[in-house]
Amino acid sequence: MKSAYLKPQVALAPAATTFTVRQQYTALFGSWLGWLFDALDAGIFGFVMLAIAHSFGVQMGDVVSTVAWFLLATGIGGYFLGNISDRIGRKKTILASVLAYGTGTLLCGFASNLFELNVYRFIVGIAVGGLWSAAASLICEVWKPEGRAKAIAFMQTGWSGGNLLAAVFAWNMLDPANPEAWRDLFIYASLPAYATFLFVLFYVKESPVWLANREFMKKNSGKGSLFEIFKPEYRRPVLLALTISVLGMLGYWIVFTFTPAFLQSTLKVRIDQAPVFLVWTGIGAMLGYVVYGYLAEKVGRRISFAIFFIGMTIMVPVFTFGAGAMPLTDGKLAFTTQNVVTLGALAALLGFFTGYFSGFGAWYSELFPTSIRSTASGFCFNFGRVGAIAGIKLVPVLIPIIGFTTTISLAAVAYFAAALMVFTLQETKGTVLTSGN
């Protein structure tokens, strides 16, 4: 039985038919590009944490605070820019987000101290959150129900693709002999954002569902307020979705923020070698996103999430303890074919089960009406990263006590809890999104 908060979405015929197939794919490609380079700009930081600490003469825990500020900003950006997206449109918000994260990343390369870097990463975080909110709503509104999860899954491959690009950039640009090479990494990583801005500006069209909803919003401006999502009819799905996001993000950011440092500290892998293994994570993740999209169309959103969360529950300790048990040569991991393949396979499997990220966009967009869709989904998804702050702040504290390997493995607990929580939220497979409110 459908719950009350889904009724407004099925009142009218689907408006997505006013979009041609070509326009659908152009919107999807533009959103994918935005998310790809969004992830590139977000992902490069994990490779340079130790180098930044060296450059500014601070401890690793101080640099972790920069990650915390970034995660806080993604929540704020997802919420506020999501609300702006409901008011001014999906396309304009995507453009503003792309421009902001490109500029913020560029400025990171010129930071003269950790405070400046925090400010610039905060700007990037605002944009990362805002772009997802607008892009997910755009794709969901122009795609029919039977293909929506697969379309969002394709968009989400941009995140793993961006992380893969971050690894490739880091692999080629970081130099152990040049402790300031991390600055070039930020500068060059910012450039694709400006090309993406131009593509979206000239080729991507606004959502017809949002356009059809403008008249309603003019007459009911209060329906699009920031606090609309906390009204009684929406409070339960918002809080449940937020909890699932927090658990999924907590596990993800613990694992992927500290994996490069884990490899450097535990296996003594050089800063320019660590990205080689993370390339496999990106490849596995791209496959996982696509598989999730097809699975969600077959068995629904909840079961698909549960399968992937259980997969992460298993793979996190398998990866960390498996990597930690690898034999060292002269105190470090030898860069042999066998070691690269072994650690690469573990990394690829770990990446595969992060495919659950494909599910948030479709599921959360289907839970809420057009007037608050981007606000609600942006809040629920991106504030999940804010919940992850506690995890990443706790990691440097626990490492000296229980070790790097065990500390990262604790992320599996969050994933197991998330697997149970998904069954508290409504299944929305087959929901038609319209301008009806």
Contact 123, 337 (CB under 8 A): no
Cα separation, 317 vs 412, whole angstroms: 7
* Structural domain contains residue 435: no
Identify any residues that bridge with 332 across adjacent strands, giving them in sequence order.
329
Q: Which of 127-136, 200-209, 383-392 shows the lowest mean pLDDT across its residues?
A: 383-392
* Structural domain contains residue 232: yes
Mean pLDDT of 267-278: 72
Alpha helix (H) residue ranges in 89-113: 90-108
Cα separation, 42 vs 163, whole angstroms: 8
Residue 15, pLDDT > 80, answer: no
Mean pLDDT of 96-119: 94
Q: 426 Cβ partners below 8 Å, 6+ apart?
A: 2, 3, 6, 237, 367
Cα separation, 102 vs 80, whole angstroms: 19
Residue 412, pLDDT > 60, answer: yes
Cα separation, 324 vs 328, whole angstroms: 10
Select the more confidently predicted residue: 310 or 67: 310
Contact 222, 145 (CB under 8 A): no
Select the more confidently predicted residue: 8 or 172: 172
User: Among the ranges 20-24, 146-150, 189-193, 217-221, which has the highest mean pLDDT value?
Assistant: 189-193
Task: Give Dmax over CA atoms of the chain in angstroms.
Answer: 72
* Structural domain contains residue 264: yes
Could you give the count of Cα atoms lying within 13 Å of 110 in the half-sphere of its Cβ? 6
As a whole-number percent, the residues of the chain with pLDDT over 70 amount to: 92
Mean of pLDDT over the chain: 86
Where are the extended beta strands (E) located within 320-370? none
Quote the tokens at residue 160: 């793993």
Cα separation, 409 vs 316, whole angstroms: 6
CA nearest to 84, candidates 370, 375, 365: 375
What are the DSSP calls for 422-437, one per residue? GGGS---TTPPP-S--
CA nearest to 368, candidates 129, 63, 86: 86
Structural domain of residue 334, as residue ranges?
16-424
User: Among the ranges 42-51, 105-114, 370-379, which has the highest mean pLDDT value?
Assistant: 105-114
* Structural domain contains residue 4: no
* Structural domain contains residue 8: no
Report the pLDDT value the prediction gives residue 104, as an integer from 0 to 100. Answer: 95
Identify any residues that bridge with 289 across adjacent strands, giving them in sequence order.
none
Q: Which of 47-61, 338-352, 405-419 shows the lowest mean pLDDT across its residues?
A: 47-61
Handedness of CA 416, 420, 421, 423 (dihedral sign): positive
Mean pLDDT of 37-63: 85
Mean pLDDT of 11-16: 40
Cα separation, 135 vs 146, whole angstroms: 19
Mean pLDDT of 410-419: 95
How many domains in the chain? 1
* Structural domain contains residue 3: no
Helix (H, G, I), strand (E, B) or coil at 106: helix
Residue 176, pLDDT > 80, answer: no
Residue 434 pLDDT class (50, 70, 90 cuts): low
Q: Which of 16-25, 67-76, 237-246, 303-312 shows the lowest mean pLDDT across its residues?
A: 16-25
CA nearest to 307, candidates 261, 249, 359, 383: 359
Residue 286 pLDDT class (50, 70, 90 cuts): confident
* Structural domain contains residue 433: no
Report the pLDDT value the prediction gives residue 111, as an integer from 0 to 100. Answer: 94
Report the pLDDT value the prediction gives residue 8, as an integer from 0 to 100. Answer: 41
User: Among the ranges 84-88, 123-127, 172-176, 364-368, which has the highest mean pLDDT value?
Assistant: 123-127
**Other residues' Cβ atoms within 10 Å of the Cβ of residue 270:** 14
CATH number at residue 360: 1.20.1250.20
Quote the tokens at residue 425: 């939220």
Residue 41, pLDDT > 90, answer: no
Cα separation, 403 vs 407, whole angstroms: 6
CA distances in angstroms from 39 to 72, 81, 220, 383, 416, listed in the order given: 16, 18, 36, 17, 25
Residue 399, pLDDT > 80, answer: yes
Residue 5, pLDDT > 60, answer: no
What are the DSSP calls for 130-157, one per residue? HHHHHHHHHHHHHS-HHHHHHHHHHHHH
pLDDT, one tens digit per residue, over 323-336 is 888 888 887 887 78
Residue 240 pLDDT class (50, 70, 90 cuts): very high
Distance from the Cα of residue 27 to its chain's centroid:
19
What are the DSSP calls for 368-402, one per residue? S-GGGHHHHHHHHHHHHHHHTHHHHHHHHHHHHHH
Helix (H, G, I), strand (E, B) or coil at 174: coil
Instruction: Output the pTM of the full model.
Output: 0.77
Report the pLDDT value the prediction gives residue 7, as an integer from 0 to 100. Answer: 44
Mean pLDDT of 190-208: 94
**Other residues' Cβ atoms within 10 Å of the Cβ of residue 89:** 20
Report the pLDDT value the prediction gives residue 3, as an integer from 0 to 100. Answer: 42
Residue 284, pLDDT > 80, answer: yes
Residue 48 pLDDT class (50, 70, 90 cuts): confident
Quote the tokens at residue 404: 């790097």
Helix (H, G, I), strand (E, B) or coil at 287: helix
* Structural domain contains residue 224: yes
Contact 315, 349 (CB under 8 A): yes
Report the pLDDT value the prediction gives residue 97, as an integer from 0 to 100. Answer: 95
